[in-house]
Amino acid sequence: MIKINENYQKLQASYLFSNIAKRVNAFQQANPDKKLIKLGIGDVTRALPDACIKAFHAAVDEMASESSFRGYGPEQGYDFLREAIAKHDFQARGAQVEADEVFVSDGAKCDSGNFQEIFSTDITVAVTDPVYPVYVDTNVMAGRTGKWNKELGRYDGFVYLDGNKENGFIPSLPEQPVDLIYLCFPNNPAGSTATKVQLKEWVDYAKENKALILFDAAYEAFVQDETLPHSIYEIEGAREVAVEFRSFSKTAGFTGTRCAYTVVPKECMAYTEAGEAVSVHTLWNRRHTTKFNSVSYPVQRAAEAVYSAEGQAQVKELIAYYLNNAKYIREKMEALGYECIGGENSPYIWIDSKSDSWEFFDRLLNNAAVVCTPGAGFGKCGEGYIRISAFNSFANVEAAMERISKVL
């Protein structure tokens, strides 16, 4: 008989955002005349930059002619995009990244979830708490954890790194050796940002323990403070111990267009049972080319246009728009007496609700018709917090904050 992967049975019954969707759908069915304002899931609302649209159209036109038609592209991405990424996102900031270390994909969620496949199932994994659920669930699926511990509200087998008010939701180093470390800065969900000094501590720890850092920098474009790093490769030694995930989703509005990339430096090594060093770049290239068949040519041309002078100006305007929303949300919530993190170098505002997370979520949904994200869905340390996203129109943000102020 066909048997299942029983690790899936360990997963909690509902993925966070599926649970939110169910509650929202139930509210809408019960209140069809009420207009919802969604500030929960981090989905952008503004149109693609005009430079990207022009490039998109031109590439589609190329596909209409046999002389310029493109079939299967290189799995790792076309050179024109990989070279633009390496030059503008890294080399321009003094970070050494070469084009052939860039792997273009259809999403940072996919890459951050899939990357663990190339490692042994008996490694020790460290995740921050609160945490983006994908990091946790994909390792549970792979069999790296024990069962869900109801008493602790965590999976047995993970090393959890607590984020809290005292440390500004920037966890301390593990107190024990670990093999794989997930970091995300600017942080999703907490909006916290790590300094170069703080990241250097993580890099040094990884080097000392022969560990690997999976660094999610999907929100780096929102960093406005020039003293803060945009990439972990701005840190000395990081090329030996870190893989970085990036996305065009929040940077240029590609959530529905789908394009991202992962950087895997050739210096990065993992080890066999016998201690022999093996190139992580080689392993990921093998996995990527076996299971992925490239992002479409028009989408890659649209992504390339992000790096044009016109595209850069338009992306900068997009980021400024959402950050203005974030600033407004934070100021209004603080005026109502709620402590906040984020909203300055991040599109997310992490708010101490002074109550149960899901209770506060339901309060805003049912009384204000505003959707947020309950912090408890991101882990034990998220209990008592909510996340509000700045991804919406300013008019909707204003309306949402007016509604919220009336029910709090």
pLDDT in tens, 99-140: 999 999 999 999 999 999 999 999 999 999 999 999 999 999
Measured CA distances, 325 to 148, 224, 330, 338 (Å):
37, 15, 9, 17
Looking at every residue in the chain, the average pLDDT score rounds to 97
Query: Is a pLDDT exceeding 80 seen at residue 363?
Result: yes
Residue 7 has pLDDT above 70, yes or no: yes
Task: Quote the Cα angle for 138-142-144, to 5°.
Answer: 100
pLDDT band per the 50, 70, 90 thresholds, residue 382? very high
pLDDT value at residue 239 = 98
State the pLDDT confidence band at 241, using cuts at 50, 70 and 90: very high
Confidence of residue 12 (pLDDT cuts 50, 70, 90): confident
Cα separation, 219 vs 185, whole angstroms: 7
**Which is higher by pLDDT, 42 or 23?**
23
Per-residue confidence (pLDDT) for residue 41, from 0 to 100: 81
Query: Which residues have CB under 8 Å from 384's CB, separation 6+?
Result: 352, 353, 354, 355, 356, 357, 375, 376
The string of pLDDT tens digits covering residues 170-187 is 999 999 999 999 999 999
Instruction: Determine what percent of the chain is predicted with pLDDT higher than 70.
Output: 99
Q: Is the dihedral of CA 187, 191, 197, 201 positive or negative?
A: negative
- Supply angle C-alpha 109, 151, 184, rounded to 5: 25
Contact 329, 401 (CB under 8 A): yes
DSSP 311-332: HHHHHHHHHHHHHHHHHHHHHH
Map out the domains of the chain as residue ranges: 6-47+310-407, 54-306
Q: Which residues contact 268 (CB under 8 A, 6 or more apart)?
A: 212, 239, 240, 241, 242, 243, 279, 280, 281
Q: What is the pLDDT of residue 46?
A: 96
SS3 209: helix
Q: How many helices (H) and strands (E) does the chain have?
A: 12, 17
Q: What is the pTM of this model?
A: 0.97
- Does residue 351 carry a pLDDT above 70? yes
Class for domain 6-47+310-407, per CATH?
Answer: alpha beta
pLDDT at site 14: 66
372, 374, 385 from 359: Cα distances, Å: 12, 9, 11
Closest Cα partner for 8 from 157, 145, 198?
Answer: 145
Share of the chain above pLDDT 90, in %: 97
Nearest to 119, CA basis, from 179, 176, 174 = 179
Assign 18 a pLDDT band (cuts: 50, 70, 90). Answer: confident
Token pair of 268, please?
């990065």
In a 3-state reduction of DSSP, which class is residue 349?
Answer: strand
CATH class of 54-306: alpha beta
- CA 288 to each of CA 58, 75, 291, 292, 363: distance values in angstroms, whole numbers, following the listed order: 28, 7, 5, 5, 44
User: Residue 208 is encoded by which pair of tokens?
Assistant: 């000392």
Please confirm whether the linkage preceding 189 is cis (ω < 30° from 0): yes
For range 355-382, the mean pLDDT: 97
Q: How confident is the model at residue 302 (pLDDT cuts 50, 70, 90)?
A: very high
The tokens describing 6, both together, are 């029983």
**pLDDT per residue over 199-223, tens digit each?**
999 999 999 999 999 999 999 999 9
Q: Hey, how many other C-beta atoms are within 10 angstroms of the C-beta on 256?
A: 9
CA gap 58, 383 in Å, rounded: 48
- pLDDT of residue 153 exceeding 70: yes
Phi, psi of 23 (to 5 degrees): -65, -40
For residue 160, the cross-strand partners are: 127
Q: Give the C-alpha separation, 269 to 241, whole Å.
A: 7
The yes-or-no verdict on residue 13 having pLDDT over 70 is: no
Quote the CA–CA distance of 157 and 159 in Å, as a whole number: 7
